[in-house]
């Protein structure tokens, strides 16, 4: 339910710091390893967790996430199994918000009503569906909001003020600002342009603002966290996973820790903002 997201951002405000949002692909490099990583994320410092649901044709993703999706599909992940992982995660963690990120077709084929029922029941909190702009709100956004799932929208540098109103109209949870026009994993934007963009979005919404695309290091995460309510990191974590795999693309004993130690470092960067912001 979407209350977990609100509660988490309220807690972050109380701590006087910004949050770390992580993205990993379910099923990458195999289903159990991806679950081990997922399970370890809260302790490693992830405040909000985006779980990727792969699609054969991820038109907004760069090579790193494309290949992760291919590994995951090869490992046999499905939307059904991803919901199963959410359920298992909830057996140990009732607080950390879980957001499913992916493309619409697998949900459409699963059946919107059935998906919303199963996802809520398993303990999912929100959705980021890359190829559903406000023009298609009737498809999934409105039914999701009605069912009690947050529908998190992407805003881009191309989203002008008039467009922003439209984008924000039915969004909830938080706003995900993608700091560059481009695909996932590309180079990041300057801190100054991010700060200006966050300020512009704040004039239109009370929702927390998370910023992503191009964050690779703890320093970058800290810089983004100074300007926004949360920093989102995806491709860098997936690259760390990828580097830990053996020649056949299979997990090694280092894979889980490769992901989690990067998350610990990123979290350290983001948490610096607390001390700086303290009065």
Partner 1 sequence: MNTANSYRAGPDADGHFGDFGGRFVAETLMPLILDLEAAYGAAKVDAAYAEEMDYWLKHYVGRPSPLYYARRLSAHWGGAKVYFKRDELNHTGAHKINNCIGQILLARRMGKTRIIAETGAGQHGVATATVCALFDLPCTVYMGEVDIERQKPNVFRMKLLGAEVVPVTSGAKTLKDAMNEALRDWVTNVESTYYLIGTVAGPHPYPEMVRDFQSIIGEEVRRQIIEAEGRLPDTLVACVGGGSNAIGLFYPFLDDQEISMIGVEAAGHGIESGRHAASLSAGSPGILHGNRTYLLQDEHGQINEAHSISAGLDYPGIGPEHSWLKDMGRVDYEPVTDDEALEAFQLCSRLEGIIPALEPAHALAHVGKIAPTLAADHLIVMNMCGRGDKDIFTVAEALEIGI
- Choosing from 32, 57, 95, 276, the residue that interacts with partner 1 (CB under 8 A) is 57
- Closest to partner 1 by CB, 105 vs 261, is 105
Classify residue 187 by its DSSP letter: P
Is 4 a binding residue for partner 1 by CB under 8 A? The answer is no
Helix (H, G, I), strand (E, B) or coil at 246: coil
User: Which element (helix H / strand E) includes 25?
Assistant: strand 19-25
Distances (CA, A) of 33 to 79, 116, 184: 17, 26, 23
CB 179 within 8 A of CB 213: yes
Write out the binding residues for partner 1, residues 77-116 only, by CB under 8 A.
Answer: 78-80, 103-110
Helix (H, G, I), strand (E, B) or coil at 120: helix
Is 130 a binding residue for partner 1 by CB under 8 A? The answer is yes
Is 172 a binding residue for partner 1 by CB under 8 A? The answer is no
Among 159, 138, 147, 153, CA closest to 119: 147
- Choosing from 21, 100, 183, 227, the residue that interacts with partner 1 (CB under 8 A) is 183
- Choosing from 159, 179, 255, 272, the residue that interacts with partner 1 (CB under 8 A) is 159
Side-chain-side CA neighbours of 69 within 13 Å: the count stands at 22
Residue with tokens 């979005």: 201
**Stretch binding partner 1 (CB under 8 A), from 22-30, 132-140, 194-202, 226-234:** 132-140
Is 249 a binding residue for partner 1 by CB under 8 A? The answer is no
Contact positions vs partner 1 (CB under 8 A)? 55-63, 66, 70, 73, 78-80, 103-110, 130-136, 153-156, 158-160, 163, 167, 178, 181-183, 186
């Amino acid at each position: 339910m979407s209350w977990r997201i609100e509660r988490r951002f309220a807690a972050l405000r109380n701590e006087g710091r910004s949050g770390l949002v992580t993205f990993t692909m379910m099923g990458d490099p195999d289903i159990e390893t991806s679950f081990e990583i997922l399970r370890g994320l809260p302790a490693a410092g992830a405040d909000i967790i985006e779980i990727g649901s792969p699609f054969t044709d991820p038109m907004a993703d760069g090579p790193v996430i494309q290949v992760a999706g291919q590994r995951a599909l090869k490992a046999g992940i499905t939307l059904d199994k991803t919901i199963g992982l959410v359920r298992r995660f909830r057996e140990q963690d009732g607080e950390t918000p879980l957001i499913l990120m992916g493309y619409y077709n697998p949900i459409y084929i699963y059946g919107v009503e059935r998906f919303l029922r199963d996802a809520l029941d398993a303990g999912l909190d929100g959705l980021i569906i890359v190829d559903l702009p406000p023009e298609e709100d009737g498809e999934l956004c409105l039914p999701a909001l009605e069912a009690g799932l947050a529908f998190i929208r992407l805003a881009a540098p191309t989203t002008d003020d008039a467009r922003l109103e439209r984008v924000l109209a039915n969004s909830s949870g938080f706003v995900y600002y993608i700091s560059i026009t481009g695909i996932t994993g590309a180079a990041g934007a300057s801190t100054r342009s991010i700060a200006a963009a966050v300020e512009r979005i704040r004039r239109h919404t009370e929702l927390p603002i998370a910023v992503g695309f191009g964050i690779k290091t703890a320093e970058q995460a800290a810089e983004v966290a100074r300007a926004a309510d949360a920093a989102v990191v995806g491709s860098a974590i997936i690259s760390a996973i990828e580097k830990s795999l053996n020649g056949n693309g299979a997990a090694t004993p280092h894979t889980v820790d490769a992901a989690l130690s990067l998350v610990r470092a990123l979290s350290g960067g983001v948490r610096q903002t607390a001390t700086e912001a303290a009065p």
